[in-house]
Amino acid sequence: MTKLRHWLGTSDLAGIALLALLVFVVMPLSTDIFRLNLIGKYLTYAFVAVGLVMLWGYGGILSLGQGVFFGLGGYCMAMFLKLEASDPISTKIQSTPGIPDFMDWNQITALPTWWEPFRHLPFAILALLVIPTLLAFIVGFAMFKRRVGGVYFAIITQAVALILTVLIIGQQGYTGGVNGMTDLKTMLGWDIRTDSARYILYFVNAILLFAAIFACRAIQKSKLGTLMLAMRDKEDRVRFSGYDVANFKVFVFCLAAMLCGIGGAMFSLQVGFMSPSFVGIVPSIEMVIFAAVGGRMSLVGAVFGTLLVNFGKTYFSESFPQLWLFLMAALFIGVVMAFPNGLAGLFEDYVKPWLLRTRAKQPDVPPAEPVVEETTRSVASRTGDSVEPLPAPTAGRLGPAVA
């Protein structure tokens, strides 16, 4: 019993095990490389969703500009790959061989100096980690120090996404414009388009994703995680316990941004191109819905949500091309209205109490009190948004009476 309760208490761990089984065993064995590559692509979005769980679920901060960081990470990697793909021999048809094709189309005759460092993979990797984080730091610092939050923050992040999109598209000589950077071929001479490379990249991606989940889990378990929950609940109290609340928000925003950057880089590697269509507002909002479907409080739930929505999107757009937008719309509305805590919430609300009840019926079970405590906790932790009134106290008082 204790074991079971422990196991359920850390239901995320069970979810992680299930996810690991799915990602590392079931999917590679059951699908061909085309579908697996597709799943790999979805898993790059999962980085964003995991970041959003930390930022939105735990931090209570909704950013509608996560695509910016995904895009920046992706572009850093794509710049490296593009330079490698633009060697003088394969670009000899251009008027200036040796520079990326889109530069040549835009009458640029020499590689801009700020592109030079991207010839080196270590620099590119460093950049894809640092640049999104740095931008998040600047935006976050300015906003959170002035206590901007909630809706305002969401809209300002949207504006940032818009600015970056217009910039990237406008500066097409340096960025590839609307087309993005296409036709990425090799990394340090290793052809990333072959099936074997795809397998390897898929697993690298999956391992990185799990590392990210575990890191976030560790943060949640630390005092910082507790503080974030506390902040979402009573920000002023945290402040008057001597914490500089803004610093914590900046941290979690930077963390989410860095995860996005990694996801973006893995995207460039696995899909072979990067385009400004990830930077904009639409993909950023879609990524929020991935996290919402999975459950904004659950790291593993977010990954499941990402997979589910994307499978759904692919399946529906293949099977009902005229209807899939309606289905997407229904998904958005349905999740928000009926299941504010997504898949993970469904598990918490229905599956877990049911499991506990079936266990509780068995004779060898000790007094029911601790079970009640577990259920009430799950009720209390159902608060998706800090603004939502807490049902906990009444439920709690009723709890023992029912038992």
Partner 1 sequence: MSTNDDRKGLQSLSRRQFSMGLAALPLIGMPGLSMAAKYPTAQVNTTKLAVTDTEVIVGQLHSATGTMAISETGSIQAERLAIEQINAMGGVLGRQIKIIQEDGASDWPTFAEKSKKLLVNDRVAAVFGCWTSASRKAVLPIFEKENGMLYYPTFYEGLEQSKNVIYTGQEATQQIIYGLDWVAKEKKAKTFFLIGSDYIWPRTSNKIARKHIENFQKGKVVGEEYYPLGHTNFNSLINKIKIAKPDCVYAIVVGGSNVAFYKQLKAAGITADKQLILTISVTEDELLGIGGENCNGFYACMKYFQSLDNPNNKKFVEAFKAKYGAKEVIGDVTQAAYLGPWIWKATVEKAGSFDIDKIAAASAGIELKTAPEGYVKVHENHHLWSKARIGQIQTDGQFKLIAESPNLIEPNPFPKGYQ
Partner 2 sequence: MSNTDYVLAVEDLTVSFDGFKAIDNLTLYVDRGELRVIIGPNGAGKTTLLDLICGRTKASGGSIKFKNEEMTDLAEHAIVRAGIGRKFQTPSIYENLSVWKNLEVSFPRGRGVFGALAFRCTDDVKDRIQEVATEIGLAGQLELEAGLLSHGQKQWLEIGMLLMQDPELLMLDEPIAGMSVRERELTAELLGRICQNRSMIVIEHDMDFVKRIAHKVTVMHQGKILAEGAMEKVQADPRVIDVYLGH
Partner 3 sequence: MTASELWNIVLMQGFAGLSLFSVLLLMGLGLAIIFGQMGVINMAHGEFMTIGAYTIFLISSLVETYAPGLMPYYFLIAIGVAFVLAFGAGWLAEWALIRHLYKRPLDTLLATWGLSLGMQQTFRSIFGAKEVSPTLPEWLMGSWSPAEGLDIPINGMFVMALTLLVTGGVFLMLYRSRWGLRVRATVANRTMANAIGINTRKTDRMTFAIGCGIAGVAGAAFTTIGSTGPTSGSLYIVDAFLVVTFGGAASLFGTVASAFGIAQAQSITEFFLNGSMAKVITLLAIVTILMIRPQGLFALKVRR
Q: Which residue ranges make up the site for partner 2 (CB under 8 A)?
A: 219, 222-224, 226-227, 229-230, 233-234, 236-245, 247-248, 251, 373, 376-377, 380-381, 383, 390, 392-393, 396-397
Q: How many CB atoms lie under 10 A from the CB of residue 277?
A: 14
Closer of 105 and 199 to partner 1 (Cβ): 105
309's tokens? 């929505």
Q: Which does 234 bind (CB under 5 to 8 A by kind): partner 3, partner 2, partner 1, none?
A: partner 2
Which SS3 state, helix, strand or coil, does residue 361 take?
coil
Supply the minimum distance, in Å, between the C-beta of residue 108 and partner 2. Answer: 42
Q: Which does 143 bind (CB under 5 to 8 A by kind): partner 3, partner 2, partner 1, none?
A: partner 3
Distance from C-alpha of 201 to C-alpha of 39, rounded to nearest angstrom = 11
Q: Which does 255 bind (CB under 5 to 8 A by kind): partner 3, partner 2, partner 1, none?
A: none
Which SS3 state, helix, strand or coil, does residue 39 take?
helix
Q: Which does 241 bind (CB under 5 to 8 A by kind): partner 1, partner 3, partner 2, none?
A: partner 2
Which of 67, 177, 294, 345 is the binder for partner 1 (CB under 8 A)? 177
Closer of 95 and 362 to partner 1 (Cβ): 95
Q: Which does 180 bind (CB under 5 to 8 A by kind): partner 1, partner 2, partner 3, none?
A: partner 1
Pairing of strands 190-191, 186-187: antiparallel
Distance from C-alpha of 173 to C-alpha of 176, rounded to nearest angstrom = 6
Task: Tell whether residue 26 is a contact of partner 3 (CB under 8 A).
Answer: no
- In order, the DSSP letters of 202-264 are HHHHHHHHHHHHHHHHHHHHSHHHHHHHHHHH-HHHHHTTT--HHHHHHHHHHHHHHHHHHHH
**Which DSSP letter does residue 92 get?**
T
119's tokens? 């010839």
Name the site residues for partner 1 (rule: CB under 8 A): 32, 34-35, 37-38, 41, 93, 95, 102, 105-107, 166, 169-170, 172, 177-180, 182-185, 193, 271-273, 275, 277-278, 314, 317-318, 321-322, 324-325
